[in-house]
């Protein structure tokens, strides 16, 4: 019998709680080298700390998180995606979040955290990150590995491995729940024994298969935060969340992103109404697209228990159960709360090509 989304969420919550009792080491540790890796290369998936990963995900031995620097006047905090640290910072006020800025890690910081062991622990390193218009921490990773390219070749040869560490850095084309869901898909494939090169090829297609919706709780905060990045690619969201006479009666935008870029799909008078519309879109997408190759995740900056009690959530969960599609629910990352504004909700949907007939 298929596990219902409710049971899955409950089990993941328990696994996530258990994982907080085992803090992941600050630095990448050296792992034993399996001699079979010459024939079966070992794949590792990496996301940035803005991805809305669960505690169970970050404890997967194939999972890595690229840290982000969260900056306030006079203080910088390195967000490494650790669940226990996110819990400590969950009660940061809206005003505190509004003053924060997000920066990519330094090459030196990544060297301390990852090098040299990541170069030997993995044969394929598949990074799938938040949309580059927001941040590009992968640039520091690529610089680090290029700086030590000859050393990496020599280290790997000395351990009986192929000299090349295969590195694939991808723009996931979304944020928050989007990259987290993409990483879930890749981890599932690797854990099922699919060859790492084949999983890497699948990773290149995920951005085109992913749709994400975002309902900011404080649209003006999102507009202010994203406008500071001065990236024209973000203009549709900034404009949709900026103050204006036409937005007085319907202040809550339904933002979306897909392979074609960023959009504002609709507006609503109340925030919960906007959320309900997003859930209704996801329900129809499940019905139209079918279960094959379909994946769904919600991330929320608020009480998951309260979210699960909402009637509109119950309807979406019921539809997911009917289609035997697991509905993942997580808390929003710290960087996500800064970009999207506190109290926001994000929904990501991955569907196989040809199955999205609802558009």
Domain match, 101 and 119 both: yes
If asked whether residues 79 and 57 sit together in one domain, one would say yes
Mean pLDDT for 239-245 is: 83
Domain that holds residue 25: 15-206
Domain match, 55 and 169 both:
yes
Q: Which of 186, 158, 167 is nearest to 33 (CA)?
A: 158
Q: Quick one: how many helices (H) and strands (E) in the chain?
A: 16, 13
33's CB contacts (< 8 A; 6+ apart) are 120, 159, 160, 161
Higher model confidence: residue 326 or residue 357?
A: 326
- Domain count for the chain: 2
Q: What is the model's pLDDT at position 23?
A: 58
pLDDT at 24: 62
Same domain, 198 and 265: no
Task: Give the model's confidence band at 3: pLDDT under 50 very low, under 70 low, under 90 confident, else very high.
Answer: very low
Q: What is the largest CA-CA distance in the chain?
A: 67
Tens digit of pLDDT for each residue in 105-138?
999 999 999 999 999 999 999 999 999 999 999 9
Does residue 239 share a domain with residue 193? no
Residues 41 and 68 in one domain: yes
3-state helix, strand, coil in the chain (%, to 5): 45, 20, 35
Give residue-wise pLDDT tens across range 177-236. 999 999 999 999 999 999 999 999 999 999 999 999 999 999 999 999 999 999 999 999
Q: Scan for tokens 């794949």, then name that residue.
A: 43
pLDDT in tens, 14-51: 334 333 334 567 789 989 998 889 899 999 999 999 99
* Other residues' Cβ atoms within 10 Å of the Cβ of residue 254: 21
The last residue of a domain, from among 176, 206, 236: 206
Contact 189, 202 (CB under 8 A): yes
87 and 201 together in one domain: yes
CATH of the domain at 167: 3.40.50.10170
Shared domain check, 215 and 193 = no
Closest CA to 310 of 337, 348, 280, 339: 280
Q: Are residues 54 and 68 in the same domain?
A: yes
Q: In terms of domains, do 228 and 315 share one?
A: yes
Same domain, residue pair 101 and 191: yes
């Amino acid at each position: 019998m298929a596990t219902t989304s409710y049971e899955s969420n409950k089990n993941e919550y328990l696994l996530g709680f258990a994982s907080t009792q085992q803090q992941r080491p600050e630095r990448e540790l050296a792992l034993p080298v399996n001699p079979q890796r010459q024939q079966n290369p070992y794949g590792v998936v990496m996301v940035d700390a803005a991805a809305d990963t669960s505690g169970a995900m970050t404890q997967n031995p194939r999972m890595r998180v690229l840290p982000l620097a969260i900056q306030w006047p006079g203080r910088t905090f390195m967000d490494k995606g650790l669940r226990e640290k996110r819990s400590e910072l969950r009660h940061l006020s809206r005003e505190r979040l509004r003053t924060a800025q997000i920066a990519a890690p330094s090459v030196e910081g990544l060297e301390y955290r990852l090098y040299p062991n990541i170069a030997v622990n993995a044969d394929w390193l598949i990074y799938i990150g938040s949309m580059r218009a927001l941040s590009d921490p992968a640039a520091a990773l690529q610089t680090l590995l290029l700086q030590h390219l000859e050393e990496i070749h020599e280290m790997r040869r000395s351990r009986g491995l192929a000299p090349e560490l295969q590195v694939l850095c991808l723009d996931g084309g979304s944020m928050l729940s989007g990259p987290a869901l993409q990483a879930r898909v890749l981890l599932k494939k690797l854990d099922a024994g699919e060859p790492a090169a084949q999983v890497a090829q699948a990773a290149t297609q995920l951005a085109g298969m992913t749709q994400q919706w975002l309902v900011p709780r404080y649209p003006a905060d999102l507009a202010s935060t994203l406008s500071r990045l001065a990236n024209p690619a973000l203009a549709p969201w900034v404009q949709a969340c900026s103050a204006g006479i036409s937005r007085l009666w319907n202040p809550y935008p339904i933002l979306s992103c897909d392979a074609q870029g960023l959009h504002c799909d609709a507006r609503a008078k109340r925030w919960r109404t906007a959320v309900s519309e997003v859930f209704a879109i996801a329900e129809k997408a499940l019905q139209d697209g079918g279960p094959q190759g379909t994946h769904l995740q919600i991330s929320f900056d608020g009480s998951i228990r309260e979210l699960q009690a909402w009637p509109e959530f119950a309807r979406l969960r019921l539809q997911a159960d009917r289609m035997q599609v697991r509905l993942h629910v997580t808390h929003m990352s710290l960087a996500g709360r800064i970009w999207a504004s506190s109290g926001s909700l994000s929904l990501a949907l991955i569907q196989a090509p040809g199955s999205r007939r609802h558009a």
